[in-house]
Chain A
Amino acid sequence: MHSRKNQRDLTRTEKKRLVDAILELKRSGRYDDFVTLHRQYYVTDTERRPRPAHMTPSFFPWHRRYLLEFEKALRAVDPRVTLPYWDWTRDDTASASLWAEDFLGGNGRPGDRQVMTGPFAYRRGNWRIRAGVTDDPFLRRDFGRPSAPVTLPGAADVDRALKDPVYDAEPWNSVSTTGFRNRIEGWGIRGARGVANHNRVHRWIGGSMAGAASPDDPVFWLHHAFIDLLWTRWQKAHPRSPYLPARALPAHDPQRDRIFASDQPMPPWDVAPSQLMDHTRFYRYV
């Protein structure tokens, strides 16, 4: 079992190892396979097909497994590397060390939003976007989206979600108004609430992270590691609250063939949410 750290506590050497491992996955083509996979499993809740990743109860376990696969690939390159997490309630400015030259690089420049600093800047020659939403081959960021300003979620936003004692609720999609899952996934619901937590962080970074190929930005993994940690915190706060739905939905429920109950295997790994409830078999957060 390995440890996942807060990114702000990484040493310079740990940051370099992580960056080098990510660059090696990019060089070998494996990184882009992960981007493609996420894109394939982004299924919206009006589509009549299985929806394991977003707008769905299995948002947490699906991404847990997705991160485990990525972390395994990183550790095959360098066994000393683990995925760190970014607590965006704390390191919530563009001047955070996360965005420094020796780690993920900074904001995009005005105009084309091209990231010009750090190891993932296009001009450094190691980070070419191949199948992005735009024609551009470079990573894009637009912190805070000045055209329609967005702020990062704060500790109070997270606490409100953590206080909900129920994991998820009908109709098990993006318009579930209660339940920990959608409070963290954070779909805006007209007349009820705005975009929150997970979704709002994607928006705040903007550029590549706002779109269909969001894992093109390596911060994706650090963001989702924190989402994964929040799931763990919620489980600790509500030890008697199970994953929901616990069993397959009844035949007449329109969500029956689209979402994943506790024991129903999720593609592409054929792993059920129940098999991913406890991460301590794999890693721990420190």
Chain B
Amino acid sequence: MNPTDGTRGGPGGAPRPARRAVLRTVFTAAVVAGTGGALAPVLLESPDPGGRTQERDAVGPERFSEFYKGREIRGTATPVVPAGAQSHAGEAGAVAMTPGIDVSVDGRALHVMRRADGSYISTVNHYESFPTLVETARAAVDELGTAQLSAVSPHTI
């Protein structure tokens, strides 16, 4: 069952929202779902044509690798822009910058999603969010106890 199936007669036919918002959310979803094919890492320091890199929910680069309660947690948030997005640089202000998120506990992928305020939710903690990836990973360890993450999570569809 696909969540997008039932929209007929529902919201639809709307002119697109601001280009920036479209790109940001589309690529957030793509990256989190692990299906983003045409994404190119860029440096956060690269020039931002719209001058809006510092928007509220833009996430800075985050990289950690540590042992927490005996579990190895690792994570990176890599800012990405869609390949070819520079051609839209003059449109609606700016190119969207969204992070490629990769978090693991003992080598198993921890699927992470984002809320509108930029905080993170994981499959382990679905009803609370955390401001950083390292806090998300530590909270997952707390909730897991001695359990291992599933090798294959069906959450991404």
Contacts and interface: CB of A to CB of B under 8 A. Distances in A.
A256 B14 contact: yes
Interface in B24-69: 24-26, 28-29, 57
Given A190-B119, A267-B6, A48 B14 contact: no
B117 A133 contact: no
A128 to B, nearest CB: 14
Interface stretch (B72-80, B81-89, B147-155): B147-155
Looking at A43, A50, A148, the one whose CB has the most chain B CB atoms below 10 A away is: A50
B94 interface: no
A17 to B, nearest CB: 29
A55 B116 CA distance: 9
Contacts of B126: 42, 202, 210-212, 214
Interface of B is mostly: loop
Nearest to B17: A254
A254 B18 contact: yes
A9 to B, nearest CB: 28
A13 to B, nearest CB: 34
Nearest to B148: A135
A53 to B, nearest CB: 9
Contact of A43 (B3, B12, B124, B146): B3
Contact of B15 (A200, A251, A261): A251
A199 B125 CA distance: 10
A241 interface: no
Interface residues of A, number: 71
A154 interface: no
A6 interface: no
B64 to A, nearest CB: 19
Contact of A134 (B2, B4, B8, B144): B144
Contacts of A118: none
A147 interface: yes
Nearest to A146: B142
Nearest to A134: B147
Contact of B123 (A37, A133, A202, A253): A133
B115 A265 contact: no
Contacts of A111: 145-146
A258 B11 contact: yes
A147 B115 contact: no
B26 A50 contact: no
Contact of B14 (A44, A47, A257, A266): A257
A135 to B, nearest CB: 5
Given A42-B155, A211-B126, A256-B14, 9 more contacts: A135-B149, A203-B125, A212-B111, A212-B124, A212-B153, A257-B14, A259-B11, A260-B11, A266-B10
Interface of A: 36-37, 39-50, 52, 55, 110-113, 131-136, 140, 142, 145, 147-148, 171, 173-175, 186-190, 195, 198-200, 202-203, 206-207, 210-212, 214, 248-249, 251-254, 256-261, 264-270
28 contacts: A41-B3, A42-B155, A44-B115, A44-B121, A45-B116, A46-B113, A46-B114, A46-B116, A47-B28, A48-B26, A134-B144, A135-B148, A135-B150, A136-B147, A142-B143, A148-B139, A175-B116, A189-B117, A210-B124, A210-B143, A212-B123, A256-B14, A256-B17, A257-B7, A258-B11, A266-B6, A270-B6, A270-B9
